[in-house]
Structure 1
Amino acid sequence: MPEPDQRLFFLLQQAAHRLRVAADRRCLAAAGITTSQLGALFAVQEGGLTQRELAARLGQRESAVTAMVARLADAGLVARSAHPSEHRAVVLELTAAGETALARVAPEIEEFNARLHQVLGEEGFRRTADGVGKLAAAHWS
């Protein structure tokens, strides 16, 4: 069996997959959105992003974000409007329905985080959040 440090990437990958599947089920049942869409809605909620800025914030390709934004707009969760100074850009705003979706999913996310606290313990939760935050912010090439 490989040493734990050699398996870390695969363990992270496995944990991320299992967590995403479970969280997607909860978010879809509560508000009809996936965790990827939830992340986009949280980012848009912070205020007037362009699709390019949203892609950068989510760490995704612009083409993937364009398709996601189209689905969110079709569902009435975000609105697109012309950018005031960039003629080819659009500004994304959360709609009332988007706010409602975030409100519906909030108890599910709270319960999910409570389960993570239960599994990891308070110290483990904090240390894991710090470590995963550092991994997410690191630049990989």
Structure 2
Amino acid sequence: MSEPDQRLYFLLQRAAHRLRTTADRRCVAAAGITTAQLGALFAVEERPGITQQQLARSLGLRESAVTGLVTRLTTAGLLAKRAHPSEHRAVVLELTDAGTAALDAARPEIDRFNAELRALLGEDGFSRTAAALHRIAYED
């Protein structure tokens, strides 16, 4: 029997792709939204009145990508834009009732998804993996 593949970066890329497509399929079935849309809705829920620029930083995306994402979410009635109280060119984002309902519909699926990963990795492995990925993603 050959040894398991040790190309960690390659394995992370493959795993991320597979996890994203699986989670997207499940979130679309449960709530009608993708994981990218879910991430944006969660960010707005955590920071009501967030600007698109702040949302882009929060999600680690370019502002142009967030503009399209926000347009799709507002067109779908999940987010609302309103004028920023002090910056005349900026808008702030807020969840609509439909956006809140989509998050509520997606939460059980996300919980199931995380429970499956916990079962695969074990509680200690899940926590250690999450901590390591957080360091890679957010620390310089």
Structure 1 equivalent of residue 27 of structure 2: 27
Structure 1 equivalent of residue 104 of structure 2: 103
Partner Cα distance (1:31, 1:2) in 2: 37
- TM-score, normalised relative to structure 2: 0.94
Once the two structures are superposed, residues 72-95 of structure 1 have per-residue CA deviations (whole angstroms, 9 ceiling, x without a partner) of: 000000000000111110000011
Unaligned runs of 5+ in 1: none
Task: Find the residue that maps to 2:88 and give its secondary structure.
Answer: coil
Once the two structures are superposed, residues 46-100 of structure 1 have per-residue CA deviations (whole angstroms, 9 ceiling, x without a partner) of: 1210000000000000000000000000000000000011111000001110000
Structure 2 equivalent of residue 66 of structure 1: 67
Could you list the structure 1 runs, at least 4 aligned residues long, displaced by more than 2 angstroms after superposition.
Answer: 1-4
Partner Cα distance (1:93, 1:101) in 2: 14
Structure 1 equivalent of residue 43 of structure 2: 43
Which amino acid in structure 1 is aligned with residue 8 of structure 2? L
Which amino acid in structure 2 is aligned with residue 15 of structure 1? A
Unaligned runs of 5+ in 2: none
Give the number of equivalent residue pairs: 137
Partner Cα distance (2:54, 2:8) in 1: 31
Partner Cα distance (1:100, 1:35) in 2: 15
Q: 1:80 to 1:31 in 2, by over 3 A?
A: same
Which amino acid in structure 1 is aligned with residue 35 of structure 2? T
Partner Cα distance (1:133, 1:125) in 2: 12
Which amino acid in structure 2 is aligned with residue 73 of structure 1? T
Partner Cα distance (1:94, 1:22) in 2: 25
Structure 1 equivalent of residue 90 of structure 2: 89
Partner Cα distance (2:14, 2:115) in 1: 20
Superposed CA RMSD in Å reads 1.4
Percent identity over the alignment? 64
Matched, 1:130 2:131: yes
- TM-score, normalised relative to structure 1: 0.93
